[in-house]
Amino acid sequence: MNKAIEIIDLIKDFGKIRAVDGTSFDVSEGEIFGLIGPNGAGKTTILRIISTLLQVTSGEVKVFDYDVTKDASEVRKLISYLPEDAGAYKNLTGKSYLTFIAKFFGNGKKVSEIVEKGVKIASLEERINDKVDTYSKGMMRRLLVGRALMIDPKLAILDEPTSGLDVINAQEVRHIIKDSTKRGTTVLLSSHNMLEVEFLCDTIALINEGKIVEEGKPQELKKKYNATNIEEVFIGVVQ
């Protein structure tokens, strides 16, 4: 299977803080890969490096064979990144925001078709025509998930995609993420919701203090730790 992401011996220091400490893992094309781990473990740092927003200290990071440092502009054409704390231009309506983004990142595809898909994914009904600064936290998140997935990126990098969403909305967004793989998108996500990673992910990597300490398919991990769910696996590994 082709590799969507290949990470070898990645180290990232912020001054004296070693945020990522010799991490290696691969993400196969077409899969949903989940990064889990305690606060401060290094998840967001890894996602930002893959998104070309942070430089590596050392090691190799490739996206579909393109190096994130040397070929950053090629990598940017293939990815869509949903940051943990993203916002949108507050003076635009949801729909005009999606249109604005589609014009930038549409890669030559028809803007109206991309926006239509974004509107459908965001599923904000008539509120899509309201200004973004009137949205609740959950509505904003849905808009941003629409933004990230409407362009059918080769790789979607989603940092806590359902944070702030209620149970029903979170479940809908999970289905949207799963559906995106049917259109050829590979997904790398981070989450603190173990139910979510178990439902969504083909492979899970557990990161602690900048190191991958466990990796596998949810079923395999549960078996290995004699656990009934991934939360128990997490506690078993991290404690």
* Sheet of strand 211-216: strand arrangement: 79-82, 155-159, 186-190, 32-36, 203-208, 211-216
Minimum CB–partner distance for residue 44 and ligand ATP (Å): 3
Name the residue nearer to ligand ATP (CB basis): 17 or 235. Answer: 17
Residue 2 DSSP code: -
* Cα four-point dihedral sign 115, 181, 86, 65: negative
Chain residues 3-62 in contact with ligand ATP, contact rule CB under 6 A: 14, 17, 19, 37, 39-45
Tokens describing residue 233: 């696996």
Tokens describing residue 96: 């005009």
Name the residue nearer to ligand ATP (CB basis): 33 or 105. Answer: 33
180: number of Cβ within 10 Å: 23
* Using rule CB under 6 A, residue 203 touches ligand ATP: no
Name the residue nearer to ligand ATP (CB basis): 41 or 143. Answer: 41
Tokens describing residue 176: 């949207």
* Using rule CB under 6 A, residue 185 touches ligand ATP: no
Gap between the Cα atoms of 151 and 172, Å rounded = 19
* Using rule CB under 6 A, residue 127 touches ligand ATP: no
How many whole angstroms from its chain centre is CA 63? 14
Minimum CB–partner distance for residue 84 and ligand ATP (Å): 6
**Considering CB under 6 A, how many residues would be counted as binding ligand ATP?**
11
Residues 92, 144: contact at Cβ < 8 Å?
no
* Using rule CB under 6 A, residue 118 touches ligand ATP: no
* Using rule CB under 6 A, residue 208 touches ligand ATP: no
Name the residue nearer to ligand ATP (CB basis): 152 or 209. Answer: 209
Contact set with ligand ATP (CB under 6 A): 14, 17, 19, 37, 39-45
